[in-house]
Amino acid sequence: MKMDFLKCDFPALRVAVSVLRCAVVLCLVTLVGCADKPTYEIDYDQSFSFGEYQHYRWYDDDHASRESQYRRQNSSDQHVRSIANAELLRRGFREVARGNADFWVNYHVTKRQTQKVTGQEKGMTGGVGMSNYGKSVSVGYSSGPSVKTYEDGTAVLDVIDTRTSKIVWRGVAEGRLKNKMSYADKQELRATVLHELLSAFPPQ
């Protein structure tokens, strides 16, 4: 919403308006900064003993499907694997040949578009204010509601026990995606999300 206020002759009121505008700008900057940061949630089987885990394989490598075939050939998914492999190796886990793994690692990513409507109905707005210096009148014009479209992303990382084929640990990351992400931005986001999720595996 764009508002054009009439020039006021009262110094105190002009200062108040300036302070208010600064406060609004600072608030918006804070919200935007938080909106791009993912939130993380970890869930796992608390009765399960993760201490015996040493070796893993990717679920896609042992379970053929159209999706797994695509992900094995896609460069973005290969980058996800590379980052996750490095994080798991740092935590003492090793990728092994088929039939020798203690657990499978699987993941999926989803995106959805969300629309947010803000602002007032189109038309004139105004008001009269009182201060120690007398009355002041403000008049503005609203161009109508503003519609913003953005994408929310969700990444789910699963640890599946090979003996029971049950999910024993799950990490979920959710957040608003930037409108125009460069290749470097995407690489950095993948690295950040996988590092944060796998920092909680195995559970202590």
Q: Does pLDDT of 202 surpass 50?
A: yes
Cis peptide leading into residue 203 (ω within 30°): no
Q: Mean of the per-residue pLDDT values for the chain?
A: 76
- In percent, how much of the chain has pLDDT > 70? 63
Domain positions in the chain = 11-198
Map residue 108 onto helix, strand or coil.
strand
Q: Does pLDDT of 12 surpass 50?
A: no
Alpha helices by DSSP H, listed for the chain, are: 11-35, 59-62, 66-73, 75-90, 183-198
pLDDT in tens, 182-191: 878 888 989 9
Which amino acid is located at 53 in the chain? Y
What CATH number labels 11-198? 3.30.160.670
Task: Supply the pTM of this predicted model.
Answer: 0.65
Does 25 or 92 have the greater pLDDT score? 92
pLDDT in tens, 127-165: 544 544 455 555 555 555 666 666 788 999 999 999 999
